[in-house]
Amino acid sequence: VYPPLPLSLKTINKKNFFKKGGCNPFAQTGRSKLQNQRAALNQQILKAVRMRTGAENLLKAATNHKVREQVRLELSFVNSDLQMLKEELEGLNISVGVYQSTEETFTIPLIPLGLKETKDVDFSVVLKDFILEHYSEDSYLYEDEIADLMDLRQACRTPSRDEAGVELLMSYFLQLGFVESRFFPPTRQMGILFTWYDSLTGVPVSQQNLLLEKASILFNTGALYTQIGTRCNRQTQAGLEGAMDAFQKAAGVLNYLKETFTHTPSYDMSPAMLSVLVKMMLAQAQETVFEKICLPGIQNEFFMLVKVAQEAAKVGEVYQQLHAAMSQAPVKENIPYSWASVACVKAHHYGALAHYFVATLLIDHQLKPGTDEDHQEKCLSQLYDHMPEGLTPLATLKNSNQRRQLGKSHLRKAIAHHEESVRGVSLCKKLRNIELLQEVLSVAHQRSQLKYTQHQEDDDLLNLIDVPDIISKTEQEVEIIVPQFSKVTATDFFQKLGPLSVFSANKRWTPPRSIHFTAEEGDLGFTLRGNSPVQVHFLDPYCSAALAGAKEGDYIVSIQNVDCKWLTVSEVMKLLKSFGEDDIEMKVVSLLDSTSSMHNKCATYSVGMQKTYSMICLAIDDDDDKTGKTKKISKKLSFLSWGTNKNRQKSASTLCLPSVGVVRPQVKKKLPSPFGLLNSDSSMY
């Protein structure tokens, strides 16, 4: 049996909560300190980027030789500062110890994603103006609803690291759907600027587009799931189940983000980066499957060792695929080097474990009378896609010398993998600071070396063969868990405005008209139809309501100051008949042709980020697809275009500073560094 070895970790208090489900942002927990450091680094990166842009513009404009030399010198200093800030941000992204379980454990730390930081947003002025202008209602009646929306957004900046925090983020995401339908027409900008910082590069992205807000909240939901997964106690069966579930859900949210939102302006939410992050979450979920099998202890028994060896090979395989994906452009330029190093280290580590377990089953077990030879032969043959040259499964099992030699060959390969994993840690400064990782690798390496030493012979260098890789196999394939938004209850804060089917931002209607009429001999002079809101139907042109200005198709919004927008036909009819023959005041609205009455132009701004990811994607699309139709469409997308697959909208990626007039640049297929995105011909000041 190979029992786990204990190692103490720091205990972190995470029991402080903030209003509406968010954590207290002033609590001095390890996680809050990391987020505060991330926010401060984001501001420093923004300042350095602005200085570099200004220096580059000055270099282009200057003609004096001495001035140009001085500017070049300052520019080198700024670039050096940016590189140092980027390394500091990478250090935060690999600060895995803060997010791990507080229980004693001896397992390799898992990697969580940090939450994206954002700036405060004031909805009040814009929403109040829109309520008055578009809905013709007193905007001050909606102050509490607007305050609730802003409080909910503020709470989402510091969600608790549990299911309540996930529900908080999802409820805000669903609430944004209501807000988008109520207040964001597809043909105009509302003037609300959303700013989010890239979690990997610290570069800010600003847009007057609610889709940036929705995408960033989805990213943080996936990131929160990763933090929940790393927090689980991996020394218990329930903890490992919870970790595996959390990482699969994180993969589901990030994959949903990749498939739903296109041409995202932030590198951490680009399709290529999200694909890698999904692979990373599934790889970590597969790692928990291996740990779950090993949790009771690995019995030194033939078939158990076969199973564990193939599970270890599976984990090594997925990490090898992850490392290959991280090494591809453009992801390679932006993924933290320490993350790629961890993927490589784990690929070698679990590959080494697979060979060690195969070596153990070959060396420690011999065929005895009564042993199920056929079963062992079948298992051994399934370990390889082909047996080593000159060997057959049954002959190897029966020949103790062949078993020992093949086992030692596996041990030699295991030691080679262990040495590569240790070397990978030594080459990365950030990983050298993770003592737990080094200790786990060292113990595994020493165990393989000890077993090889016990069976080492002088002629091993001549007799040992090069063994093939072990075929991976798992009893539980991890898979993406699609986010279940339907399980989250979210009530529209602004439902008093009326049913969304009618009272939405993309529909226009006349101001409310007061209709004063009476029911003559109990006859209203019209019938009603529809659900909420109710419409006037079959109007008698000579009745008092028609003479007062009512029209067929009018929506009834109130009767005698009683709001009727959510009442059914029977309820409205009952209310009308309750007044008998008394004078009735009914307010109605009529829908207008939205195409003729709504604005058909909108202003977009872009500063300091002339080449964004989405612009590059558009340029690549232009190059790859040479059809006339594609070229015609692409020429119209002169600004950053991104959105949902069903409803793509024009918008702009900005850097907070307004500057009008950006011409679409000629972009090559190769994606530049995120800091290189901020080179702009337009002035920053």
Q: Are 534 and 569 in contact (CB under 8 A)?
A: yes
Which parts of 261-384 fold into alpha helices (H)?
271-294, 302-326, 331-334, 337-363, 373-381
**Cα–Cα distance between 418 and 420 in angstroms, integer?**
5
Q: Hey, which of 160-174, 592-606, 625-639 has the most confident mean pLDDT? A: 160-174
> Does the pLDDT value for residue 80 go beyond 90?
no
- Residue 256: count other Cβ atoms within 10 Å of its Cβ: 19
pLDDT for the residue numbered 594: 55
Q: What is the layout of strands, in order, in the sheet containing 261-262?
A: 261-262, 641-644, 648-650
Kindly report the length of the chain. Answer: 685
- The sign of the dihedral angle between the CA atoms of 489, 490, 496, 497 is negative
φ and ψ at residue 502, rounded to 5 degrees: -120, -50
Task: For the full predicted model, state whether its pTM sits above 0.85.
Answer: no
Q: How confident is the model at residue 581 (pLDDT cuts 50, 70, 90)?
A: confident
**Cα–Cα distance between 340 and 323 in angstroms, integer?**
6
Q: Are 300 and 310 in contact (CB under 8 A)?
A: no
Q: Which whole number is the average pLDDT over 291-305?
A: 88
> Does the pLDDT value for residue 155 go beyond 60?
yes
Q: Which whole number is the average pLDDT over 373-390?
A: 79
> Does the pLDDT value for residue 553 go beyond 50?
yes
**HEC secondary structure over 109-141:** CCCCCCCCCECCCCCHHHHHHHHHHHCCCCHHH
641: exposed, middle or buried (Cβ count in 10 Å: 0-12, 13-18, 19+): buried
pLDDT for the residue numbered 89: 65
pLDDT for the residue numbered 36: 66
**C-alpha closest to that of 675 among 220, 20, 204:** 204
Q: Are strands 194-197 and 204-207 parallel, antiparallel or unpaired?
A: antiparallel
Q: Are 465 and 498 in contact (CB under 8 A)?
A: no
φ and ψ at residue 194, rounded to 5 degrees: -100, 125
> Does the pLDDT value for residue 611 go beyond 70?
no
Cis check for the bond before 3: say yes or no (omega within 30 of 0): no
**Cα–Cα distance between 368 and 371 in angstroms, integer?**
6
One-letter identity of residue 14: K
DSSP annotation of 267: G
3-class SS of residue 648: strand
Q: Percentage of the chain with pLDDT > 90? A: 38
- The sign of the dihedral angle between the CA atoms of 4, 10, 11, 13 is negative
**Rounded (5°) CA angle 346-255-35:** 70
Q: Which whole number is the average pLDDT over 660-685?
A: 38
Contacts of 445 (CB under 8 A, 6+ apart): 352, 415, 418, 419, 421, 422
pLDDT digits (tens, 9 = 90+) for 161-188: 889 999 999 999 999 999 999 999 988 8
Contacts of 294 (CB under 8 A, 6+ apart): 2, 308
φ and ψ at residue 548, rounded to 5 degrees: -85, -5
**C-alpha closest to that of 282 among 229, 336, 234, 354:** 229
Averaged confidence pLDDT in the chain? 78
Structure tokens at 468: 């093939």
One-letter identity of residue 652: A
Q: Which whole number is the average pLDDT over 275-288?
A: 95
CATH code linked to domain 498-589: 2.30.42.10
**Cα–Cα distance between 16 and 29 in angstroms, integer?**
9
Question: What pairs with residue 159 in β-bridges?
Answer: 22
CA 231 centroid distance within chain = 18
φ and ψ at residue 589, rounded to 5 degrees: -130, 155
Q: Which whole number is the average pLDDT over 142-153?
A: 94
Structure tokens at 378: 């079948």
**Cα–Cα distance between 205 and 654 in angstroms, integer?**
6
HSE, CB side, 13 Å, CA atoms: give it for residue 129.
9
Cis check for the bond before 330: say yes or no (omega within 30 of 0): yes
**Cα–Cα distance between 415 and 460 in angstroms, integer?**
14
Q: Which CATH superfamily is domain 117-297 in?
A: alix/aip1 like domains (1.25.40.280)
> Does the pLDDT value for residue 7 go beyond 80?
no
CA 543 centroid distance within chain = 60
Q: Are 493 and 523 in contact (CB under 8 A)?
A: no
Q: Choose the weakest-confidence range: 93-107, 265-279, 309-323, 594-608.
A: 594-608
Question: What pairs with residue 138 in β-bridges?
Answer: none
Q: Which whole number is the average pLDDT over 11-20?
A: 36
> Does the pLDDT value for residue 238 go beyond 90?
yes
> Does the pLDDT value for residue 632 go beyond 80?
no
**C-alpha closest to that of 213 among 156, 273, 292:** 156
pLDDT for the residue numbered 186: 85
**Cα–Cα distance between 34 and 30 in angstroms, integer?**
6
